[in-house]
Amino acid sequence: MTSFPEAARVELQNEQLRANLRKATDTIRTKRAGVVAEVPDWEALREAGRAVKEDVLAHLDEYLVQFESAVQAAGGVVHWARDAEEANAVVADVARAHGADEVVKMKSLTTDEIELNAALADAGIHALETDFAELILQLDGDWSSHILVPAIHRNRSEIRDLFARTIAPDITSDEPADLAEASRRYLRERFLGARVGVSGANFGIAETGTICIVESEGNGRMCTTLPPVLVTVLGIEKLLPRFGDLEVFLQLLPRSSTGERMNPYTSLWTGVTDGDGPQELHVVLLDNGRTRVLADEMGRQALHCIRCSACLNVCPVYSRTGGHAYGSVYPGPIGAILTPQLRGIENAASLPFASTLCGACYEVCPVKIDIPRVLLHLRAKAVEAKSAPAEAAALRAAAWTFASPRRFAVAQRLLTPLARLRVIRRLPWPLSRWTATRDLRPPAREPFRVWWRKRP
């Protein structure tokens, strides 16, 4: 994959993208701050969310088996998938068994992670995205740049033009309501004719086998109730032990995510119910690197993530570069710690460095993932896995210098010729990367320690 700095360089040149992102992330973060401030026990809620997730990860083996039994008892079929290939094969087999050449899909990061749509296409099955933003991206062959707002990098006139080319030849307005109406007309018939629906999941309840999804548009409820067959793909970390735990997470998630007190649609289903909703339910439990993450005691907290995207909206890096620079369906700060762990650090070694460690992400995380701390942990792993000889030599020299105050003083003396300059405008590589856009303040004419010694 392209390294983050290289990908970011390209994205940063897109002024429209930066303006869109600024506006959108500012709006969501202001909304979030407002609704979070209303909750008097927000910090206690965060702590409760963290504790539940920690417990889930500590006893994941037991909760998974409990969940499997509960789903089976309620009439569902459980499939275990080691990786993307196995998970995709399950979905394709179910669709094939029902003679479906199209499945209707709700927005799901997990299915994006395993590239389900491409796998289904290879099997001759079209996966229709029914979330408004996902539909836009699908129609244009584009991909998501934000966990919650996948088409955050597009504006409405671009969308109007796209719809005019594809699903609504007569559209002239770019009013949000008209755009939504165009997509609704296009989707409604497809929903009614679909034989198989595909969903992700926000939560799976080990105790009852219940699956929970939260959404804004209602397309998810259509996907999970209209087709006679439903396949739900969920990462193994999505479990909660008890039904009552939803009390914590259904407060944390909407407020952190869309900045709403409650999201418009919350759907819960347990197995199959005679005469109501899908009569065949398949649940795919996906590993795809998650047990490897679980094995790392410091890094595993990345699996606490409930995909709210609050960390993206406050991230000064994400809000400049957008999501595509992160090269994964998980962008922003959470992506910077999740992707390298899921794919292996050697395959995403630049991501843990795509942060100033400003800490804004940790501050808003509803389940208290200490992202800066995990970034440091992964940086050390990245350095071990991938050597950068020039950098390593420079840092070794610095460490050697810092090991002795005498050597440090010598190094300072070597810099003194620069102290005579008023300002430093050009430096050799790699420091030229600093002076390309910034001057450098010259070192002090007299380092502090020299002055201290001379003091009477």
Report the C-alpha gap between 16 and 23 in whole angstroms.
11
Burial category of 95 from C-beta neighbours within 10 Å (exposed 0-12, middle 13-18, buried 19 and up): buried
Report the C-alpha gap between 1 and 326 in whole angstroms.
9
Q: List binders of another protein among 14-73 (CB under 8 A).
A: 18
Dihedral of alpha carbons 440, 441, 442, 446, sign: negative
Per-residue contact flags (x/-) with another protein for residues 373 to 402, judged by CB under 8 A: ---x--xxxxxx------xx--xx-xx-xx
Q: Select from 54, 178, 260, 446 the one that contacts another protein (CB under 8 A).
A: 446
Instruction: Pick the closer one to another protein by CB: 192 or 357.
Output: 357
Helices (H), 13-78: 15-37, 42-58, 60-73
Which of these segments, 73-81, 227-235, 254-262, 431-439, binds another protein (CB under 8 A)? Answer: 431-439
Q: How many residues interact with another protein (rule CB under 8 A)? A: 63
Instruction: Pick the closer one to another protein by CB: 243 or 408.
Output: 408
CB of 348 to another protein, least distance (A): 14
CB of 315 to another protein, least distance (A): 9
CB of 430 to another protein, least distance (A): 6
Which of these segments, 111-119, 136-144, 193-201, 430-438, binds another protein (CB under 8 A)? Answer: 430-438
User: Which residue, 35, 46, 96, 52, is CA-closest to 241?
Assistant: 52
CB of 432 to another protein, least distance (A): 9
Instruction: Pick the closer one to another protein by CB: 275 or 452.
Output: 452
Strand 126-129 and strand 77-81: the pairing is: unpaired
Instruction: Pick the closer one to another protein by CB: 124 or 417.
Output: 417
Report the C-alpha gap between 349 and 146 in whole angstroms.
21
Residue 115 touching another protein (CB under 8 A): no
Report the C-alpha gap between 326 and 280 in whole angstroms.
37
Vertex 263 angle, CA 184 and 77, to 5°: 80
Which of these segments, 58-66, 77-85, 241-249, 442-450, binds another protein (CB under 8 A)? Answer: 442-450
Concatenated DSSP letters for 107-137?
A: --HHHHHTTHHHHHHHTT-EEEE-SHHHHHH
Report the C-alpha gap between 200 and 177 in whole angstroms.
27
Instruction: Pick the closer one to another protein by CB: 30 or 173.
Output: 30
Instruction: Pick the closer one to another protein by CB: 286 or 382.
Output: 382
Report the C-alpha gap between 264 and 218 in whole angstroms.
8
CB of 373 to another protein, least distance (A): 8
Per-residue contact flags (x/-) with another protein for residues 309 to 338, judged by CB under 8 A: -------xx--xx-----------------
Instruction: Pick the closer one to another protein by CB: 22 or 165.
Output: 22
Concatenated DSSP letters for 233-247?
A: EEEGGGEESSGGGHH
User: Which residue, 24, 49, 27, 51, is CA-closest to 39?
Assistant: 49
Q: Select from 334, 352, 365, 371 the one that contacts another protein (CB under 8 A).
A: 352
Dihedral of alpha carbons 69, 71, 75, 79, sign: negative
CB of 351 to another protein, least distance (A): 11
- DSSP H or E stretch at residue 401: helix 389-402
Given strand 102-105, what is the order of strands in its sheet?
77-81, 280-286, 229-235, 196-199, 102-105, 126-129
Instruction: Pick the closer one to another protein by CB: 83 or 391.
Output: 391
Binding-site ranges for another protein (CB under 8 A): 4-5, 8-9, 12, 18, 316-317, 320-321, 352-360, 362-363, 376, 379-384, 391-392, 395-396, 398-399, 401-405, 408, 412, 415, 423, 425, 430-431, 433-434, 436-441, 443-444, 446-449, 451-453
